[in-house]
Structure 1
Amino acid sequence: MATMDKTTLIELLSAAFVLYVIGLYVYRMYFDRLSHIPGPKLAAASLWYEFYYDVVLKGQYTYKIRELHEEYGPIIRINPYEIHINDPEYIDTVYPGSSPRTMKYQWSQKMFGQRTDFFATESHELHRIRRGALAHYFSVQSLRRLEPGIQSQLDKLVSRLQGLKGSGTAINLLDVFASLTGDIIGQYAFARPYGFLEDPDFSPHWHALMIDVSMNGHILKQFGWMLPMMRAMPEWMVKIMTPQMLTLIGFQAAFRKQVIEVKERIARSEKSSGQTTIFYDVLTNPQVRPQEKETDHLQDEAQTIIGAGTVTTGHILAITTFYIINNPSIHEKLENELSSLMRENDGKPKWAQLEQLPYLSAIIQEGLRIGYGISHRLQRLFPDTVIEYNGYAIPTMTPVSMTSVLIHDNPSLFPDPRTFNPDRFLKQPGLKKYIFSFGKGSRQCAGLNLAYAELYLVLAAVFAPGRFKWELYETDITDVETKHDFMNTSPKLDSKGIRVLVN
């Protein structure tokens, strides 16, 4: 009898589960507030659809979304809760300035395990406070003053490259530029370059670490409970269950240690090195709220600032350098434009001078376009506003997203989009407004100005006339083209990098 009762209970629970699934499906298809938005039924029914493309197939949902737009049109429902729009003319509506209010989609912000940093902050008002505590450090005026610090790290890179001339040693540009940008942002944030440029192989572990952290993102988004659980477990257990999570946990622990070190230095009444540093100044600034000085919060901010300050700009530099080397006519035109400015400034022109060069500026815009920057979609929620698109009303608090990959590859804007062609920005300067590499609106990347400073100064330094002769080494377009979206871009997974010889 007991066995029969147990069997009956299992059957009842199974039947209840099946009825629940059927009921949920029917509700989401026909009664949900987004049921009027076109798109595949499986995507509307369950997050497992996205899970399959991004976790099982490793960062492929962005490309599936592009296919879905071709089938269903410019507005589609890509999961039970989210709408995606593919229309470059709608960018300013989805990503407005200060008004109307927008919020972040908390479900998607779990990708890198931060909880309180300004990038992940959901609330419009709290985001303004947290971003305001840091924003002036990344202003154009601040960066002009700190340009000598950027130049000092760039001088180290140039010296390293000169030492490699004619050696026949192949170097990976992804490692080279990640080392450079990592040392620059480390110096700016903590007054302590990490020494990546001094490593004989340009610290390949640093770039690999960044990519490993990115690859975890889709799992963390789908299973938000996983990282807090892993943090509470012994390291040996995490290594057995999900070894890839150790990378992220260790990454966060390192930033926590750095924040604590700054706090201890302040407690000992030690002054900073005289150089403006983000975290020392935040902690000693009486205008910053105590909540923004808590260790947990600053750990998250450090992860965002160091991670974002390394990966995106480093990738764009490597990709742009590849295309310049691979196109002799572009290379020659760039050297000709740089020639007089380099000669007049002892090979070290200022960022403000380089910004005036039209061809270098066009190359940078094309590098940002073809390299995408952030490849994942960026969601916004409108708490007060019902926005409309193409006859569809999108309810308040609905995540609405767009994606750089789809905007930058739009053939109506950019004919032959996968061809590197800086001339398109010379002929149509207005195309710059469609560059989505740093996001748009009130939540645009805070480090945009630093990224531009690095792009101008680094490309001018490595392509200064007569300084280096570059040669690609066992590298082709398949090592450059983005094949996986891990928030950060990734080429084919078996790529050995963008490798070059320096002569």
Structure 2
Amino acid sequence: MAIYYSVWALLLLVIPTALAFIILQRLYAHPLSNIPGPRIAALTTWWETYIDVFQGAGSQFYSHLRGLHDKHGPIVRIGPNEVHISDPEWLRTLFGGPGTVRDKHPSLAHVAGSSMGTFGAVDHFQHRQRRSAVAPFFSKRAVKATEARVQAIAERLCHEVDHCYKTGDSLNVRVTTLAWFTDAVACYVFDDPDEILGDQELSEQWYGMFEKMRGMYPLMKQALWIVPLSFQLPPQLVSILSPNLSPLLKVHRDMTEQAKFFFDARRHGMTKETASEESPNLFRAILDSKLPEEDKNYHRIAHEGLEVLLAGSNTTSKVMSRAIFHINNDAAVKTRLQDELRRVMPDAGVVPDADTLKSSAYLNAVIKESVRIDHTFVNRDPLVAHEDLVYAQYRLPAGTIISMTPGYTLHDPRIYPKPLSFRPERWLVEGEKLAQMDHYLTAFGIGNRACLGQAFAISTLTIGVAMLFRRYDFELVDTIEERDIMNSRWWIIGEAAADSPGFFVRPTKSWRDGSMA
């Protein structure tokens, strides 16, 4: 019995002593201890979770971080081993380019449980290897070759608008554009659209899945074991313990089944000669690549497919929905855009290719401004350098987590005057000012980790905006910009207020009856 009490006495002495040592080391002896920031940030990363879960409307760390920079300056310590820098001039130092070695931190790479995908690759060299295998699939040439697929899906979107025009119903823009982009991504990437668009119940379930996932994000970011552990549990148990996580796990399982089916079909007799005659497919591109065989198993390619489907659909659809609002909210912008579309698309029923549409300076300006003002990806991007870096008078040792938030740059008034105003005409200037704005247009990321799907996203956005506003006129329905449009919750992707009923428009004119001549 004496030994029992001795052990407990020893633990009561050792544990507080160890904690005190850790606290003192992080506050006063850590290499980052001279960098300004809240003391709590130097002690634990869980303070961020507290802000995201319990403060305000939830997921407020994005705006809280802005406040920290207002107080402390362009560099702030936000974790025991992490600093955040808010300085547009330093973006390319951190994110770099050819020859720059940067690892991604797992807190972002593994948050969706796709550690085997390109986005989920932490190691710089592994990421480069995986990216090189799929990059040709997302090239401008590849996107151009499959443009007819996107136009076909956009025609289905127009059928939804036609239905609303005939019935007088309003269109739930956020839900409908997400369904459209999901079908477009699935059609382009897997040559097999999910056909969510047109099924109202399925569209709302798909949108609801993202809403549930967003609510889990603050916890998943801190506890990266949650999603992998959930895979080991019966789905029924997960639905009880964490119902918000169940939709994500279902998408994981569905993607794994699809990848396994494709993998087995290829393994049992499909030749490369046959495959070369088939439509492009992401799984096929990976299996036909020069990746090592261990990177071609169906579990890994399922992670690749999951990343593309989730990221490609939700981000771009949000830009599209906000573009629809801003165009309809400014009569001068809408009138000028529609006049320009009549010029480049004289027959509303015949859609020019994306290159022809992109030749329209004003349409191109509308797309750029939509991408800028929404900037979609609001999460900070944490990277780890293999060498010491220096910012101002501060040395950042190799292994330090250094993060920046590209979205801050897109709303920087020094680069984009009146940054919260939708002003496509800002992109119609020439020379040094245009070059500066293009230089800082970081909505798709920059450097080695920039989004692979940029060409597809821009092409799809251009076709969608052109078809909708050449063929129809819309009115906003009970829309309050502060509640339904502006971001007030920030996860990986910003969203409107939790009490928003959605964002709706009603078509008031249609090309089919000549009212949009």
TM-score normalised to structure 1 length: 0.94
Q: Do the aligned partners of 2:133 and 2:289 also contact (CA within 8 Å) in 1?
A: no
DSSP 3-state at the match of 2:262 = helix
Q: What are the within-5 Å matches in structure 2 for residues 319-398 of structure 1?
A: 319-343=322-346, 346-383=349-386, 385-398=387-400
Give the Å deviation of 1:10: 4.5
Deviations 1:364-386 (A, max 9, x none): 12111211121100112111x32
* Pairing of 1:179-328 with structure 2 (within 5 A): 179-200=179-200, 203-269=203-269, 274-283=278-287, 285=288, 287-328=290-331
Match of 1:482 in 2: 487
Describe the shift of the 1:239–1:12 C-alpha distance in structure 2 as closer, same or farther (beyond 3 A).
farther
Give, in whole Å, the separation in 1 of the partners of 2:472 and 2:28.
63
Distance in 2 (alpha carbons) for counterparts of 1:225 and 1:256 = 19
- Counterparts of 1:135 and 1:364 in 2: how far apart (Å)? 23
Do the aligned residues in 2 keep the contact of 1:378 with 1:439 (CA within 8 Å)? no
Question: Any conservation in 1 of the 2:259–2:299 contact (CA below 8 Å)?
Answer: no
Residue 471 of structure 2 corresponds to residue 455 of structure 1: no
Q: 2:41 maps to which residue?
A: 43
C-alpha distance 335-345 of structure 1, shift in aligned 2 (>3 A): closer
Aligned match of 1:438:
444
Shift of 1:234: 2.4
Q: Which amino acid aligns with 2:488?
A: K
> In structure 2, what residue type is equivalent to 1:490?
E
Give distance in 1, aligned partners of 2:499 and 2:5: 50
Q: Please tell me whether residue 399 in structure 1 is matched to residue 401 in structure 2.
A: yes
Is 1:470 equivalent to 2:477 in the alignment?
Answer: no
Distance 2:332 2:188 in 1: 36
Query: Hey, what's the Cα distance between the residues in 2 that align with 1:135 and 1:190?
Result: 15
The count of aligned residue pairs is 497
Which residue matches 1:52? Answer: 50
User: For the Cα contact (< 8 Å) 1:381–1:399, is it kept in 2?
Assistant: yes
1:17 corresponds to which of 8, 15, 30:
15
Deviation of 1:213 (Å)? 2.4
Name the residue aligned to 1:500: 505
- Cα distance in structure 1, aligned partners of 2:316 and 2:15: 48
Partner deviation per Cα, 1:226-259 (whole Å, 9 max, x = no partner): 2222222223332232222212211210110110
CA apart distance, 1:200 = 4.2
Query: Is 2:98 aligned against 1:93?
Result: no
**Conserved 8 A contact 2:320-2:461:** yes
**Which whole-Å deviations, capped at 9, do the CAs of 1:145-198 have from their partners, x for residues lacking one?**
111111111111112212221422122111111111111111122221001123
Residue identity in the other structure for 1:369 = R
What letter is aligned with 2:282?
A: I
Is residue 112–residue 214 contact of structure 1 (8 Å, CA) maintained in 2?
Answer: no
The answer to whether structure 1 residue 26 and structure 2 residue 28 are counterparts is no
1:90, distance to aligned residue in structure 2 (A): 1.4
Cα separation, partners in 2 of 1:51 and 1:274, compared to 1, 3 Å: same
Superposition deviation, residue 72 in structure 1: 0.4
**Deviations along 1:298-324, whole A, 9 cap, x unmatched?**
111111011111011000000111110
Q: CA 1:257/1:402 → structure 2, altered by over 3 Å: closer, same or farther?
A: same
Matched residue of 1:112: which SS? coil
Q: Is the 8 A contact 1:365 1:432 kept in 2?
A: no
Uncovered stretches (5+) of structure 1, i.e. residues with no partner: none
CA distance in 2, matches of 1:27, 1:9: 26
**Cα–Cα, structure 1 residues 426 and 202, in superposed 2: closer, same or farther, change >3 Å?**
farther
* Distance in structure 2 (CA, Å) of the matches to 1:321 and 1:7: 70
Q: Distance in 2 between matches of 1:279 and 1:327?
A: 43
**CA pair 387-251 structure 1, distance change in 2 beyond 3 A:** same
Name the amino acid aligned to 2:467.
A
CA contact (8 A) 1:103 1:381 kept: yes
| 3-state SS, counterpart of residue 169 of structure 1 | coil
User: What does residue 165 of structure 1 align with?
Assistant: 165
Preserved CA contact (<8 Å) 2:315 2:377: yes
**For 1:425 and 1:127, how far apart are their aligned partners in 2?**
34
CA deviation after TM superposition for structure 1 residue 468, in Å? 1.2
Structure 1 residues 163 and 245: CA distance shift in structure 2, 3 A:
closer
Matched residues in 2 for 1:280 and 1:165: separation? 41
Q: Quick check: 261-270 or 64-73, which moved more?
A: 261-270
Q: Percent identity?
A: 26
Give the drift of 1:496. 1.8
**Aligned runs of 1:390-429 on 2, under 5 Å?**
390-427=392-429, 428-429=433-434
Q: What amino acid does structure 2 have at the position aligned with 1:417?
A: P
Give the AA of the match of 2:155: D
TM-score under structure 2 length normalisation = 0.91
Query: Equivalents in 2 of 1:106, 1:235: separation in Å?
Result: 25
- Offset at 1:356? 1.6
Measured after TM superposition, the shift of residue 210 of structure 1 is 2.5
Give yes or no for contact 1:113–1:220 (8 Å, CA) kept in 2: no
Structure 1 stretch displaced more, 285-294 or 126-135: 285-294
Instruction: Give the distance between the partners of 1:168 and 1:6, measured in 2 at CA.
Output: 78
Distance 1:370 1:300 in 2: 30
Give the secondary structure class of the aligned counterpart of 2:395: strand
Q: Secondary structure at the match of 2:417?
A: coil
Work out the CA distance in 2 between the residues paired with 1:310 and 1:79.
31
- Cα RMSD (Å): 2.0
| Further displaced range: 75-84 or 400-409 | 400-409
Alignment of 1:110-121 (within 5 A): 110-121=110-121
